Amino acid sequence: VPELPEVEVVRRGLERWVSGRTLSDVEVHHPRAIRRHTPGAQDFRDRLIGTTLSAPARRGKYLWLPADGPTGQGLAIIAHLGMSGQLLVVDPETPPERHLRVRLAFADGGRDLRFIDQRTFGGLFLDDLDAEGLPLQLAHISRDPLDSLFDDERWASAVRAKRTGIKRALLDQTSISGIGNIYADESLWRAKLHGERPTAALTRPVLRGLLQHIRDVLGEALAQGGTSFDSLYVNVNGESGYFDRSLAAYGQEGRPCQRCGAAIRRESFMNRSSFSCPHCQPRPRAAQSS
Ligand SMILES: [Zn+2]
């Protein structure tokens, strides 16, 4: 699933290519792509045609395009890329892609915005924005660590009050958003923390250090266009990022740790995998016996 850097790369592309443009047509090619828009395809189309898109915003792994129109303001198209969703800007003459789900055409006759999704886990839906410009359905998603209003001390307090492991806490989108398996493993490797370490036992300096590593990892990944562990993660022009070449832990099973040379291990975690260094990131004792 795309995480913060991959979604931010898409957001920046949309800002460049679709901000300020007015929608002239909306084609829904597959109902599953708008399943979260419960009033259906006709309503989706009717409400969007004639609206003008403004600068896209993002919270965690969600991004949205405010769509202000003749009928009023405060509407937004929310995009969730899911496992394989792509938002591409393409010439309107380009034939429909095999997995084209939604096509947005513009009154200026320029490039379309197309939502393409091979596995159809992602989708688009409409929502109203609250007074702060946040879609109502995303109100439960926390600010992300690159947000200037993210409160480090509040996060540290909340995490220390929980009975959970630090990796689960990093994946909890209601307390810190935008981090998934890849950037959790990379940040924990940098912080020399095993993901099963109980959060209640982590000190504030350790948590502050972890946040710094998270910001570094996300910033570096963003600068490299994100991670293309799956060739389906692309920017609006269909290009892949290359942070996968810089990964120190995620997906590196058996390769030497860049710090100590021990072979990176893979452990099962919530039906997926966690990658860590057995030497730099020892398992906590309580977790060893379970
Ligand atoms: Zn190591």
The answer to whether the predicted template modeling score (pTM) of the entire model surpasses 0.85 is yes
Based on C-alpha coordinates, what's the Rg of the chain? 20
- Tell me the per-residue pLDDT of 249-288, one tens digit each, with 9 for 90 and over: 999 999 999 999 999 999 999 999 999 999 999 999 865 4
Query: 8 falls in which pLDDT band (50, 70, 90)?
Result: very high
**Res 69 pLDDT > 90:** no
If you measure from the C-alpha of residue 199 to the centroid of ligand 1, how many angstroms do you get, rounded to a whole number?
Answer: 21
* Range 70-89 average pLDDT: 88
Which entry of 11, 21, 59, 61 is annotated as an active-site residue?
61
Tokens of 3: 């995480």
If you measure from the C-alpha of residue 262 to the centroid of ligand 1, how many angstroms do you get, rounded to a whole number?
Answer: 6
Q: Which residue has the higher pLDDT, 81 or 157?
A: 157
If you measure from the C-alpha of residue 192 to the centroid of ligand 1, how many angstroms do you get, rounded to a whole number?
Answer: 8
Query: 98 falls in which pLDDT band (50, 70, 90)?
Result: very high
Residue partners of 14: CB distance under 8 A and separation at least 6: 56, 63, 65, 87, 89, 113, 236
Pick from 15-29, 98-112, 235-249, 266-280: least confident = 235-249
* Range 156-164 average pLDDT: 96
Question: Hunting for tokens 């443009």 — which residue is that?
Answer: 21
- Give catalytic status of residue 192 as yes or no: no
**Res 290 pLDDT > 50:** no
- Give catalytic status of residue 93 as yes or no: no
Distance CA 10, CA 65 (A): 12
Any idea what DSSP says for residue 135? B
Question: Hunting for tokens 């957001």 — which residue is that?
Answer: 11
Q: Torsions phi, psi of 136, nearest 5?
A: -55, -40
- Give catalytic status of residue 205 as yes or no: no
Q: Tell me, what's the pLDDT at 93?
A: 96
* Residue 88 near residue 79 (C-beta atoms within 8 A): no
Q: Tell me, what's the pLDDT at 289?
A: 44
If you measure from the C-alpha of residue 185 to the centroid of ligand 1, how many angstroms do you get, rounded to a whole number?
Answer: 13
Nearest to 155 by CA among 206, 191, 193: 206
Which entry of 163, 245, 272, 285 is annotated as an active-site residue?
272
- Count Cβ atoms within 10 A of the Cβ of residue 4 and give its class: 0-12 exposed, 13-18 middle, 19 or more buried: buried
Question: Hunting for tokens 């109502």 — which residue is that?
Answer: 136
Mean pLDDT of the chain: 93
CA 165 to chain centre: 22
If you measure from the C-alpha of residue 180 to the centroid of ligand 1, how many angstroms do you get, rounded to a whole number?
Answer: 22
